[in-house]
Amino acid sequence: MEIKFRKTEEVVESQKKLMFPCMPKYRQPVIFIEGKGALVKDLEGKEYIDLFAGYAAVNIGHCHPKVVKAIVEWAQKIHHSSYDYYNIPSAILAEKLVKILPMQGDKKVFFCVSGAEAIEGSVKLMRKYMLKMRGRTGLDVITLRYSFHGRTHMTTTLTGQSKYKLGMATVTAIPGVKIIPAPYCYRCPFKMTYPECDVYCALYLEDVIKFETSRDIGAFLAEPVLGEGGIIVPPKEYFKKAIEIIRNYDGLFIVDEVQSGFARTGKIFAVEKYNVEPDIIAMAKGLTSGLPLGAIGAKAEIADAFEPGNHSSTWGPNAVSCAAASAVIDVILEENICEKVEKLGKYFIDGLNELAKKYALIGEVRGLGLMIGVELVKDRNKKTPAVKEALKIREKMREKGFLIGAGGAYGCTLRIEPPLLITQEQIDKALEAFDDVFKEYS
Ligand SMILES: Cc1ncc(COP(=O)(O)O)c(C=O)c1O
């Protein structure tokens, strides 16, 4: 059966006809056919600088030679074993991953296929641990408004944005989940100002625990930087305070590093920037830099709450994906990616802040490393979200050969999360293009 596509429109039309209509409303008409580092080429031969890395996932760039080598090697040997047997790449990956997890003491890992699956598994593990070791169910899971944790029933319930739940109330109402106001200083839910606020949003967690939960506290689950919510960067004290509270009430801290992990913010895990230790960590995306794989890491005493048969995933220990992940970890460590990200992230943010001085449409530039958000507003005083403008700017940037994200909780944040091997020269080109595009809106 031979099927050929020659034109972008042919692919777009076919996809519209055959795929479930749940894709993004403004799916971009760019058919990726090749990629190298931060560059991608489309079906028409046009080249782009990719500033979004496939939802912030291709961390060490498209088709990194060491990842390609690992994939090819294992694609030719064996793809899959399942958890009934063993394979070498998943054993090597477990050895490497436990060494870089941001926790003290003994640690264990589990492999699955996606970020949502890693989050579901993390909550399931926490509840099993609570039942076995603390004699209660760990029912109450507290998450953040503007968070995003995935698209399954459980993870959509945990997600703090109703746009992912619209019209699906029955599948997003799993008991025990409480969503609290987020540390979003630009739009402070308490109308306070940092640092005078004393990070009240973290202290508020205690109020919620005291007055809104069953006191069968399971965990506080949070992204260190809220990605889909619009690259919301909590103040530096936030996690220390919040985690002290959750631990006082005998709960665990589950960190969602699906988007912020694997050097994206200038540390291997963003939580390290906050000097706090999670009990359980969910990972995916940058773990393989391009292949489907998720992982859960946990302190060994927590992981050991699972008993044989409690949890599994057919493709979890997939040899090819695990080999790719192993190569990614090597590249991150050997090529000092974290240091580069710190430097380039600051350079990019400084450049965008220069543009903010010129263009009133830019309400705020924020970020950690190369996880950058540019929130657009129609009026700087009222902070009216500039939603149409954000979509238009994404389109104009695409026409100029730059791929960016547009979204966030208010729909008005440009998301800039390029492959981490992007060069300073490519950043300069992107800043120049942003300058031109913003000029049109000034
Ligand atoms: C922070 C975070 N958690 C979980 C997920 C879900 O990951 P996946 O799409 O691999 O299920 C995402 C995806 O964007 C994410 O950004």
DSSP-H helix ranges across 173-237: 200-212
Q: Is residue 237 part of a domain?
A: yes
Q: What is the CATH number of the domain that holds 110?
A: 3.40.640.10
303-332: string of b/e by CB count within 10 Å (b at 16+)?
A: bebbeeeebebebbbbbbbbbbbbbbbebb
Q: Does residue 62 contact residue 37 with C-beta atoms inside 8 Å?
A: yes
Q: Is residue 269 part of a domain?
A: yes
At residue 58, φ and ψ (nearest 5 deg) are: -85, 70
Whole-prediction pTM: 0.98
Residues forming beta bridges with residue 42, ordered by sequence position: 32
Q: Is the CB of 116 under 6 A from ligand 1?
A: yes
What are 68-123's pLDDT values in tens digits? Answer: 999 999 999 999 999 999 999 999 999 999 999 999 999 999 999 999 999 999 99
What are 129-147's pLDDT values in tens digits? Answer: 999 999 999 999 999 999 9
Measured distance CA(433)–CA(427) in Å, rounded: 10
Ligand 1 centroid to 186 CA: how many Å?
Answer: 24
Measured distance CA(285)–CA(302) in Å, rounded: 24
Q: Is residue 230 part of a domain?
A: yes
Measured distance CA(332)–CA(339) in Å, rounded: 10
What are 197-250's pLDDT values in tens digits? Answer: 999 999 999 999 999 999 999 999 999 999 999 999 999 999 999 999 999 999
Ligand 1, atom 8, lies closest to the CA of 115
Last residue of a domain, one of 334, 361, 383: 334
Pair 211, 120 in one domain: yes
Pair 37, 174 in one domain: no
Pair 189, 111 in one domain: yes
- Chain-centroid distance, C-alpha 372: 12
Q: What is the CATH number of the domain that holds 20?
A: 3.90.1150.10
Q: Is residue 1 part of a domain?
A: no
Side-by-side strand order, sheet with 252-256: 107-112, 294-299, 280-283, 252-256, 217-222, 140-144, 177-180
Q: How many domains, the chain?
A: 2
Last residue of a domain, one of 310, 334, 358: 334
Q: What residues make up the domain containing 49?
A: 8-63+336-440
Last residue of a domain, one of 334, 366, 386: 334
Measured distance CA(331)–CA(60) in Å, rounded: 8
Q: Is the CB of 417 under 6 A from ligand 1?
A: no
> For all residues of the chain together, what is the average pLDDT?
97
Pair 264, 142 in one domain: yes
Mutation to probe ligand 1, out of 149, 271, 281, 313 (largest number of atoms < 8 A from CB): 149
In whole angstroms, how large is the CA radius of gyration of the chain? 22
Ligand 1 centroid to 118 CA: how many Å?
Answer: 9
> Tokens standing for 339?
């240091």
Pair 130, 229 in one domain: yes
pLDDT(26) > 90: no
